[in-house]
Amino acid sequence: MKITLAINGIEQSVEVAARDNLLTVLRSLGYHSVKFGDEHGLTGADTVLLDGRPVNAGVMLAAQAEGHKIATAEALGMHPDQGWKKTEGLHPLQKAFIETGAIQCGYCTPAQILAAKALLNKNPHPSEAEVRAAISGVLCRCTGYVKPVQAVLRGAAEMRGETMDDGQRMMGEGQRTTDDGRQMTDDSDLWSVDGGQTATRVLPKLVVAPETSPYHTVGQPEPKVDAVKLAQGKPAFAADLEMRGMLYAKVLHSPHAHARIKRIDARAARALPGVAAVLTYKDIPRVPYSTAGQSHPIPGPLDCFSLDDKVRFVGDRVAFVAAETPEIAEKALGLIEVEYEVLPAVLDMREAMKPGAPVIHDEPDYVNFADSDPSRNLAAEIRIDIGDVEKGFAEADHIFEAEYEVPKVQQAHIEPHVVVTYWDEDDRLVIRTSTQVPFHVRRMMAPVLGLPVKRIRVIKPRIGGGFGGKQEVLIEDVAAHLTIATGRPVIYEYTREEEFIAARSRHPMRIRMKTGVKVDGTITANEMYALSDTGANGAHALTVTGNTGHKAMALYVGDGQYRQSPNIRFYADIVYTNHPPSGAYRGYGVPQGFWAVERHMEKIARALNLDPIEFRLKNALRAGELHPFSTAWSEGREPRPETIETNALEECVRQGKAAMGWDQKFGNEAWRAAQTAVGGRQSAVRKGIGVALVMQGTAIPYLDMGGASIKMNDDGSFNLLIGATDLGTGSDTVLAQMAAEVLGVPVEDIIVYSSDTDFTPFDVGAYASSTTYVSGAAVVRAAELVAERIKKRAAKMLDQSDYQTIRLSGRRAIAPDGRAVTLQEIALHSLHMEDQEQIMAVGSYYSPVAPPPFAAQFAEVTVDAETGQVTVDKLVMAVDSGVIVNPITASGQIEGGMTQALGYAVCEEMTFDEQGRARERDFHRYHIFRADEMPELETIFVETFEPSHPFGVKAVAEIPMDGVAPAVANAVRDAVGVDIDDNPVTPEKIWRALRQLERG
């Protein structure tokens, strides 16, 4: 049918099918700012304005939109400088989103901006609550909504004609002040709009390390280097590529938790017009591999096959289809005849290793790793003893034992997994994929596809969030097999349901703690046993659960003699079940561990009538001490001793307590009960406050390697090519800042490109909190080599005998006597004039250490003791992440991480029925936090200067996941006196615990 759509003021006649939704049609017309997030409109990534109101294009038929005015982000604004053509530039909202750091992955940004624009068109003076309501239809998994709200308020002010000076636009050095001998940044008066919870603060509080004082670019809130394109909704993501003859892939998923395929007949599907290929296990090579995107050799069993004659979870792969349209592909799936022999399933991790349990991996070509034993459904086993644990228990005055449980949860990145594959003109297979690990994809896919590594090129475009979910080489093989089968480009994009049933998720665990403590609070021995459910495959089985102990059990070493020689035991069994496979998820096993450890510490402190914070700090790991696990375990590789060089945990506690008003609230019964009653009755509502101390790691020592190359251009600008993968974290920006700092140029002179396995140096990718630290050090090395070449040439041009006296600053090379040449002059000299050479260098780095960041995380809650309903009112995180390269991007990481962790605390949970079928398959049932229901979030950075890094950095990305859930549960304990040991902390659990408490 032919319809006319009025898009951005232009009427377009379009031929559509009745079934076509507006999202599909807009994207086919080139409006790529409108994104797919889910089928129900709940992510809001598909937002357009229809007659001025935000609506979801993905749940509206294109035909419904005829006769209405459609607006997309493409019409808002553009780069102001288009060569000889100047434009009006970006819309004030786009500028505000860039300036405030509201853009992280950028996938939801056009939608948020449109929703905000609709608000401001009607209400130029919105309150913070009104802004939150206006953008509540657009889910963001990266930001925690703090900065988008700030952006809208800022944009509103700008649109009202209010002006800001340059210092206000982007927080700079001028705002740093001195307090108690420390340099502080706290711009609480910088941009006050209405006094709401987020509107008054653009930057986080920052306790600055003195070593950073000479820096010009490192430490500054530079706007993200990719923000301008993301604010415009440019076609920067994997699915935004359109190719002639593109086929659409779909996968037939198993309806059974455990079954053997007795018969599969794809003839009818293949005969359907428009179907280009149907692949079953009979059609492709059988190659065992692991989907875990990790370095060679993979530290886990090889127990995956692209297609197999056995299915091991509901959602497992049965067949692949490629067709001319998604609808034909979907129809073809229904024509594939499959006869299953249903097998008994393991749906409870506690049953997995029992004698007689069904064996999930009975295939003969299973490849073991370490202690994996498929005959017992054992994917991995860990046995770590540090010191003499039994002696420690014997010396204790009290032994505390308890069991804890954590659920399976989903990364829920708004951009689903998506990949495009095609043969290039050289018959090399190009894989354009939304991945955190492009180089691992290339290496790991090669044997699966029967291609040498050199005939595969992996391109990582912008990534719409990953959080570990895209550390999996999850769907690249599907599209690639179909491209090989058909010779045509293939796109495969997960539906939201597939994300829930056929992607990876956080390992659920049952954790048993046993702790010996003396009466004065000294921990004498600490033991954890973790039973971990890896699901149907063992990817990340060893390493995720290893980190559960390696990080969470490392924090409390004991005091006195025990501090010198801690007694720690960490045992784990990671078992196969017929649930969807677990995998990497931000935090990588550590949030599970800290749920148990921090709940346990709280209970011990209260049982012994000790101050919970003093008890923790008394036993916590300190600078100068050996990381207790460093000699015991290193992700399946040889462990080497590592000393903690920096640890500002005590200052984090001090800062966090002040931000929370801890001393006024903790133990204050009047504060706890100070709630107004409804209807004159005594109120059942009580307040509570809780804390959790946490640590993480920074990269994997002696393993994670990042590379960078820097090339000087004619105008003195530089191409920075990195294999590192910015999945919305801002790593491209902070790496550019480091290069700019070394080269003495503004960040805008660093042109960042990441990543393409053909062009950029190797990098392991974005995981293990490694990018700023490892890839950053590689960038610094490359920049230093380039700087040396520049200085040598400048010395020659300036007749300066010692090039080492030259310094680079302000786009110039400056001699000690003040004479200078510009970098442009040096570039022209080197490229065109004398002793011509390309000034260029490659740097790479791997680290012998993994310096842990430390943090104190606080929560304030309100609990309705009559119903058990808990409302989280405030979260504070004071974190020692070393030097903060960019306080805006770093605080965005913290805010977003806290928000994800808040979901882990109170609402996120993947559950399965008795047949192993996922109950949560969309964002109706799997709720993630919206802008209009967020607690107040506050981030405080307490800088230390980590000596192992040239700019003193440690990691920031994962640690916010670790402490929110136990802090919330500890706050609930503070409010109403009950302990919830299995998260999430839900109303019925609290209500039942309260009833139990009443009964005694």
Among 115, 323, 724, 750, binds other proteins (CB under 8 A): 115
Q: Which residues pair with 575 in a beta bridge?
A: 378, 533
The token duo for 992 is 């039942």
Among 2, 10, 11, 18, binds other proteins (CB under 8 A): 18
Q: What is the 3-state secondary structure (H, E, C) of 591-626?
A: HHHHHHHHHHHHHHHHHCCCCHHHHHHHHECCCCCE
Query: Are 521 and 359 contacting, i.e. CB atoms less than 8 angstroms apart?
Result: no
Nearer to other proteins among residue 168 and residue 871 (C-beta): 871
Q: If we measure between CA atoms, which residue out of 234, 324, 238, 249 comes closest to residue 30?
A: 234
Using the contact rule CB under 8 A, the part of the chain among 304-312, 344-352, 672-680, 691-699 near other proteins is 672-680
Among 37, 41, 535, 852, binds other proteins (CB under 8 A): 41
Among 457, 540, 930, 954, binds other proteins (CB under 8 A): 930
**How, if at all, do strands 69-71 and 81-82 pair?**
unpaired
The token duo for 765 is 């990718």
DSSP 508: P
Nearer to other proteins among residue 852 and residue 868 (C-beta): 868
Binding flag, residue 274, other proteins (CB under 8 A):
no
Nearer to other proteins among residue 18 and residue 670 (C-beta): 18
Binding flag, residue 195, other proteins (CB under 8 A):
no
Among 516, 868, 950, 963, binds other proteins (CB under 8 A): 868
For residue 449, the minimal CB distance to other proteins (Å) is 33
Binding flag, residue 713, other proteins (CB under 8 A):
no
The order of strands in the sheet holding 820-822 is: 807-809, 812-814, 820-822
With vertex at residue 974, the alpha carbon angle to CA 971 and CA 980, rounded to the nearest 5 degrees, is 65
Nearer to other proteins among residue 124 and residue 947 (C-beta): 124
In degrees rounded to 5, what are phi and psi of residue 91? -70, 150
The token duo for 593 is 């561990």
The reply to whether omega before 754 is within 30° of 0 (cis) is no
Report the amino acid identity of residue 193.
Answer: V
Binding flag, residue 867, other proteins (CB under 8 A):
yes
| Contact pattern for other proteins over residues 154 through 193, marking x by CB under 8 A | ----------------------------------------
Nearer to other proteins among residue 319 and residue 902 (C-beta): 902
Residue 868: burial class (beta carbons within 10 Å; 0-12, 13-18, 19+):
buried
Nearer to other proteins among residue 51 and residue 802 (C-beta): 51
Question: Between residue 79 and residue 108, which ones bind other proteins under the rule CB under 8 A?
Answer: none
Using the contact rule CB under 8 A, the part of the chain among 44-52, 400-408, 558-566, 694-702 near other proteins is 44-52
Using the contact rule CB under 8 A, the part of the chain among 224-232, 390-398, 848-856, 865-873 near other proteins is 865-873
Nearer to other proteins among residue 470 and residue 496 (C-beta): 496
Among 866, 915, 947, 996, binds other proteins (CB under 8 A): 866
Nearer to other proteins among residue 640 and residue 924 (C-beta): 924
Distances in Å between the Cα of 42 and the Cα atoms of 209, 469, 904, 922, 929 are: 42, 20, 19, 9, 11
Within 10 angstroms of residue 238's Cβ, the number of other Cβ atoms is 24
Q: Binders of other proteins: how many residues, by CB under 8 A?
A: 56
Among 73, 138, 382, 632, binds other proteins (CB under 8 A): 138
The token duo for 986 is 């839900």
Query: Cα-atom radius of gyration of the chain, to the nearest Å?
Result: 28
Using the contact rule CB under 8 A, the part of the chain among 43-51, 241-249, 440-448, 891-899 near other proteins is 43-51
Binding flag, residue 4, other proteins (CB under 8 A):
no
Binding flag, residue 55, other proteins (CB under 8 A):
yes
Q: Where are the alpha helices (DSSP H) in 255-385?
A: 267-271, 326-335
Binding flag, residue 871, other proteins (CB under 8 A):
yes
Binding flag, residue 265, other proteins (CB under 8 A):
no
Report the amino acid identity of residue 661.
Answer: G
Binding flag, residue 919, other proteins (CB under 8 A):
yes
d(CA 75, CA 31): 10
For residue 673, the minimal CB distance to other proteins (Å) is 19
Nearer to other proteins among residue 331 and residue 637 (C-beta): 331
Among 83, 161, 214, 679, binds other proteins (CB under 8 A): 679
For residue 915, the minimal CB distance to other proteins (Å) is 13
Using the contact rule CB under 8 A, the part of the chain among 130-138, 146-154, 193-201, 376-384 near other proteins is 130-138
The token duo for 517 is 């403590």
Nearer to other proteins among residue 262 and residue 925 (C-beta): 925
Report the amino acid identity of residue 534.
Answer: T
Task: Tell me if residue 690 falls in helix, strand or coil.
Answer: strand
d(CA 770, CA 849): 11
Report the amino acid identity of residue 403.
Answer: E
DSSP 803: G
Binding flag, residue 44, other proteins (CB under 8 A):
yes
Binding flag, residue 911, other proteins (CB under 8 A):
yes
Among 924, 947, 996, 997, binds other proteins (CB under 8 A): 924
For residue 29, the minimal CB distance to other proteins (Å) is 18
Residue 90: burial class (beta carbons within 10 Å; 0-12, 13-18, 19+):
buried
Query: Are 585 and 496 contacting, i.e. CB atoms less than 8 angstroms apart?
Result: no
Binding flag, residue 268, other proteins (CB under 8 A):
no
Query: Are 935 and 875 contacting, i.e. CB atoms less than 8 angstroms apart?
Result: yes
d(CA 142, CA 147): 10
Residues with Cβ within 8 Å of 263's Cβ and at least 6 positions away in sequence, in order, are: 337, 338, 339
d(CA 910, CA 313): 14
| Contact pattern for other proteins over residues 967 through 996, marking x by CB under 8 A | -----------------x-xxx--xx----
Using the contact rule CB under 8 A, the part of the chain among 38-46, 165-173, 939-947, 960-968 near other proteins is 38-46
Among 348, 869, 917, 977, binds other proteins (CB under 8 A): 869
d(CA 184, CA 194): 24
Among 282, 344, 933, 997, binds other proteins (CB under 8 A): 933
For residue 200, the minimal CB distance to other proteins (Å) is 22
Binding flag, residue 272, other proteins (CB under 8 A):
no
Binding flag, residue 354, other proteins (CB under 8 A):
no
Q: Where are the alpha helices (DSSP H) in 241-367?
A: 267-271, 326-335
For residue 498, the minimal CB distance to other proteins (Å) is 14
The token duo for 560 is 């006195």
d(CA 529, CA 507): 15
Using the contact rule CB under 8 A, the part of the chain among 302-310, 522-530, 838-846, 860-868 near other proteins is 860-868
Query: Are 154 and 200 contacting, i.e. CB atoms less than 8 angstroms apart?
Result: no
Binding flag, residue 136, other proteins (CB under 8 A):
yes
Full DSSP string of 820-839: EEEHHHHHHIIIIISS----
With vertex at residue 848, the alpha carbon angle to CA 843 and CA 854, rounded to the nearest 5 degrees, is 105
Binding flag, residue 681, other proteins (CB under 8 A):
yes
The token duo for 492 is 């495969």
Binding flag, residue 19, other proteins (CB under 8 A):
yes
Nearer to other proteins among residue 41 and residue 593 (C-beta): 41
Using the contact rule CB under 8 A, the part of the chain among 51-59, 307-315, 409-417, 810-818 near other proteins is 51-59
Please report, as ranges, the residues that interact with other proteins according to CB under 8 A: 1, 17-19, 39-42, 44, 47, 50, 53-56, 59-61, 63-64, 66, 115, 133-134, 136-138, 327, 331, 678-681, 866-869, 871, 906-907, 911, 913, 919, 924-925, 927, 929-930, 932-933, 984, 986-988, 991-992
